[in-house]
Amino acid sequence: MYRSYSSYRSALDSGSIQLTAVVQGFLNEIQHRSSLNAFLEVYGEEALERAKSIQEKINAGQAGKLAGMVVGLKDNICYRDHRVSASSKILEGFTSLFSATAVERLLAEDAIIIGRLNCDEFAMGSSNENSAYGPVLNPLMESRVPGGSSGGSAAAVAAHLCHAALGSDTGGSIRQPASFTGTVGFKPTYGSVSRHGLIAYGSSFDQIGPITHSVEDASLIMSIIEGPDEFDTTALPEKLSQKEVALPERLKIGFIRETIESEGIDTEIKSAFLRKVEELRSQGHDVVEVSLPELPYLVPTYYVLTTAEASSNLSRFDGMRYGYRSPKGQGVEDTIILSRSEAFGKEVKRRIMLGTFVLSAGYYDAYYSKAQKVRRKIQNKTKAFFETLDFLITPTTPGVAFPLGNKSSDPIKMYLEDIYTVQANITGMPAISIPLGTHSEGLPFGIQIMANLEEDRKLFAFAEALSS
């Protein structure tokens, strides 16, 4: 099994492996591990046909930069003439009329899309137990969750059902499942990847990003999918991969004291993290402790703002224009109420109601407006860190993958899974999770690295060094 696309591509170019055989191997493995429930739909025949045409390009020396890379798509990323549901009953049977910009850019470089991947409904969750199509299992220990909301994406990569997958990250939904499955998960600078074709949850937080086996592959995929887009006014005006990066020999790295002093952090993860801190110091880097007393406010701020945005974004799913429509409806208003009540899952309803509440008259100033002020304070505080620091490091998650059903009855415990990851989304800064160690329970956990806005290339360079 190839751990990087570059070695795999070399084998393709040399003719030592054939692309159709590779794709068939993935299809066989997807069938063999169907119990994981990672894929909602597999594009078997289509993937094999595309493999044949790309093999011809490879033989002729005309193949794209991602030729033969087999990629899965999270089920909230649109692919023209293919179904997309955000793992929700309300979009049951809906076929997309266009492809997301990120998908178009993958296809233009001869990647192969092998299927759509299960996720928490509308990307709302940290365990992939909120899908209308059942939970995804962690391939490393099937009694555990794979993380969420991009749990299907992480599980598919970890189980070698595809080379890489695209996920979306609103508060940690790429990095947390990467930590739980021993993969690499990257959340880009906000705006570096177009959100055109991503079914919106929290529009000022959402970003598409890759889950891979290596930092090298994540960096390669980002160099393809990022860049300006006329369909997304929040997209940055230039590709960040065009920026030259040279890491100084001596880096200044900060770690947030409150993250390792938290009562909720697993002791083995804390010990492994502190060992990494000492290792970096022994390599000559200046690793300093910084304080973020606002840490307890990150998750509440995130949930007030994202639920408000979700309340607005999900209002379009009314059962009248597309997707699920209740057969019991009598008249327009009754049909809308019944369709939304029957087709949205419990967690989605909870967040829509929370968002509607914090935006309502009399509560807007008390909740939404106040959360925006806290967001700005956190942004300013984090920017101030990077005036003197090159990177911030934290554990990716406070624990390892937890048992299925362990936290589903307690939303607060589930929401706190994002305590270390939401800072990057609140601030818009890039962050990556790479494997750090293996717990005594036999499960992996990751370390998160965050960089300043638009320093994605610098982040990749350091993550690559830290991974080697």
Catalytic residues, which ones? 74, 149, 173
Q: 166 near 155, Cβ under 8 Å?
A: no
For residue 393, the cross-strand partners are 255, 449
Q: How far from the centroid of its chain's Cα atoms is residue 102's Cα?
A: 14
Per-residue DSSP letter, 408 = T
Structure tokens that stand for 240 in this block: 């960040």
CA–CA gap between residue 36 and residue 21 (Å, rounded):
23
What sign results for the dihedral spanned by CA atoms 34, 39, 43, 47?
Answer: negative
Structure tokens that stand for 165 in this block: 């997958």
Name the helix (H) or strand (E) containing 185.
strand 184-187
Residue (of 202, 164, 190) closest to 76 by Cα position: 202
Q: How far from the centroid of its chain's Cα atoms is residue 180's Cα?
A: 13
CA–CA gap between residue 9 and residue 65 (Å, rounded):
9
Q: 125 near 317, Cβ under 8 Å?
A: no
Structure tokens that stand for 310 in this block: 């979700």
Q: 322 near 332, Cβ under 8 Å?
A: no
Q: How many residues does the chain have?
A: 468
Q: 145 near 151, Cβ under 8 Å?
A: yes
Structure tokens that stand for 283 in this block: 């390599």
CA–CA gap between residue 134 and residue 151 (Å, rounded):
12
CA–CA gap between residue 138 and residue 149 (Å, rounded):
13
CA–CA gap between residue 212 and residue 58 (Å, rounded):
23
Q: Looking at this protein, which amino acid is placed at residue 461?
A: A
Residue (of 419, 424, 435, 434) closest to 386 by Cα position: 424
